[in-house]
Structure 1
Amino acid sequence: MDEQQQADLIEEARKVFAGPIAFLKSAPDLKFLPDMSVNEVAFAGRSNVGKSSLLNALTGRNGLARTSNTPGRTQELNFFNVGDPLRFRLVDMPGYGYAKAPKDMVRKWRFLVNDYLRGRAKLKRTLVLIDSRHGIKDVDKDIFDMLDAAAVSYRVVLTKADKVKASHLAEVIAAVGEAIRKRPAAHPDIIPTSSEKGMGIPELRAAVLESVTQG
């Protein structure tokens, strides 16, 4: 994609995300999943990675992700409709790697997420959020393994990029790039973002739109 095509995609994505976006439903179990009438992009990340803030920045709506992040809903898949008429869906996956979570909760999370990833034909890409300050952790590698095994395309998005120096960010991008280089389902390009500063948000919107329009 050349610079003009990228610019056109960014502008189209801006218009799409400026339009109607609404919380659809929470699914604590596969039987509660919505119909597969449109393509989906899922967001995954360990606890406290800044997933809710990024979703709100992406959609330009301060309270969107909070709709489904009330206590007791942490183990559910949350679906958001984008566009009217409906164009695609965003899926907020429950955070992983929370040290104090009971083992049965962790087990339930793994079954729900793994079954969703393996059985969702309309899932076009999963965006895996990594904290720029900390880089890839072992729990992130577990998610990469799960996505590779399920043959679900994924792309790394760095969060909180404004919290680190440019030199450190460059090192993290290089390290993440090396870590995913040989992974079969990983997209090679990494998107650094900042929910607070708006850094990378136009590019992230374009990446979402591109993934759901690829068929």
Structure 2
Amino acid sequence: MSAPPVSHKPKHGIKRKKNLAKLKTRQKAKTMEKIEKKNDAVTFEVVFVGRSNVGKSTLLKSLTGRNVRTGKRPGVTLKPTHLYFDDFLITDMPGFGFMSGVTPEKSEDVKNTIVRYIEEHADRIYLAVQVIDGPAFVEIVERWDARDEIPIDLELHDFLEEMGIITVIAANKMDRVKEDEKDELLGEIAEIFGYEEGPWKESGALIAPVAARAGDIRPLVSHLKNEFHKMKRDDLFKHFK
């Protein structure tokens, strides 16, 4: 019986794959080194948190003029996204809550990622912006109440307060609410977050009614600048439109 034919295929393909893998490893190491260097310079951080599809990325673009990387579909991105401005850092946390096509385990991973990140960097996180879907928020909370459960939004807000982080609630998509109904809705939102019943502007609640897609973000900018001023960081004003 004749011997099997000897393969004379070139081994260049295998070598090329190994070289490519080494190159990717070196590039990843360099990227991590750059990120660590940037992180070492950070002294002041603001985190943006909120459910998926509440408009965090659009709000950040309107606020800073920078695009924020997003996943191809909600719930895919589990890692925080950073925007660096010298010693100032804005971090866009992954969206949380129920998402179509995302397992409960992955949703829990997102929540844990947010909590761990805030705990690990609490010494430099001075402010948080919690973005909610203004028109839908009361209905979302009522659905959770019907199941006798505490909404993740409220859990997160309480957690931020426990960590000593000042939190501004950005009620987004308010352009979808009739003008004569806005104050009543914002009063309900303030009450849900634990502020006294009555006119929301007098409740002490740090609520900014905004419409990110329409570019109306002045109430949020005003709240942020006011808090920065209290912390003697007026130099941060220049980073916002």
Both structures adopt the same fold (TM-score exceeding 0.5): yes
Mean CA deviation greater in 91-100 or 142-151:
142-151
**Separation (CA, whole Å) in 2 of partners of 1:43 and 1:132:** 16
For residue 91 of structure 1, what is the aligned residue in structure 2? 91
Pair 1:55 & 2:60 matched: yes
Higher relative contact order (CA 8 A, sep 6+): 1
CA shift digits 1:62-94 (9 cap, x unpaired):
xx11x3445585111111012xxx141111000
| Superposition deviation, residue 38 in structure 1 | 2.1
Alignment partners' CA distance in 2, 1:181 and 1:48: 24
User: Secondary structure of the equivalent of 2:114?
Assistant: helix
User: Which residue in the other structure is 2:224 paired with?
Assistant: 208
TM-score, L = length of structure 2: 0.64
Shift of residue 148, structure 1, vs aligned partner: 3.1
What is aligned with 1:81? 84
Specify whether residues 119 and 37 from structure 1 end up closer, same or farther in structure 2 by C-alpha distance, changes over 3 A only. Answer: same
Give 3-state SS (helix, strand or coil) of 2:170's partner: strand
Distance in 1 between residues matched to 2:103 and 2:96, nearest whole Å:
12
8 Å Cα contact 1:44-1:93 kept in structure 2:
yes
- What residue in structure 1 maps to residue 135 of structure 2? 133
Contact 2:134 2:172 in 1 (8 A): yes
Letter in 1 for 2:80: L
Q: What is the alpha-carbon distance in structure 1 between the residues aligned to residue 80 and residue 53 of structure 2? A: 17
Kindly state the Cα deviation for residue 56 of structure 1 after the two structures are TM-superposed. Answer: 0.9
| 36 and 143 in structure 1: CA distance in 2 versus 1, 3 angstrom threshold | farther
Distance 1:169 1:159 in 2: 12
**Contact 1:127-1:154 within 8 A present in 2 as well:** yes
Picking from 185, 198, 202, the partner of 1:172 is: 185
In the alignment, structure 1 residue 102 sits paired with structure 2 residue 119: no
Aligned position for 2:13: none
1:123: which partner in 2? Answer: 125
User: Percentage identity across aligned positions?
Assistant: 24
SS in 2 for 1:94: coil
More deviation in 128-137 or 142-151?
A: 142-151
Query: What is the CA RMSD across the aligned residues, in angstroms?
Result: 3.0
Runs of 4+ in 1 over 4 A off after TM superposition: 70-73
State the number of aligned residues: 178
Q: Per the alignment, do residues 73 and 211 of structure 1 end up closer, same or farther by CA in structure 2, a change over 3 Å counting?
A: farther
Where does the alignment leave 5 or more consecutive residues of structure 1 unmatched?
1-25
Q: Could you tell me whether the CA contact under 8 Å between 1:160 and 1:195 is conserved in 2?
A: yes
Q: Residue type of the partner of 1:77?
A: P
**In structure 1, what is the Cα distance between the partners aligned to 2:43 and 2:166?**
17
For residues 223 and 177 of structure 2, what CA distance do their matches in structure 1 show? 23
Deviation at 1:178, TM superposition (A): 1.6
Q: 1:33 to 1:180 in 2, by over 3 A?
A: farther
Which of 47, 53, 69 in structure 2 is aligned with 1:42?
Answer: 47
Contact 1:129 1:158 in 2 (8 A): yes
Q: Do the aligned partners of 2:132 and 2:171 also contact (CA within 8 Å) in 1? A: yes
Tell whether 2:163 aligns with 1:150. yes
SS in 2 for 1:155: strand
Shift of residue 203, structure 1, vs aligned partner: 3.4
SS across alignment from 1:35: helix
Q: 1:112, CA displacement in angstroms?
A: 1.6
- Give the Å deviation of 1:164: 1.1
1:191 aligns with 208
CA distance in structure 1 between the aligned counterparts of 2:126 and 2:171, rounded to whole angstroms:
20
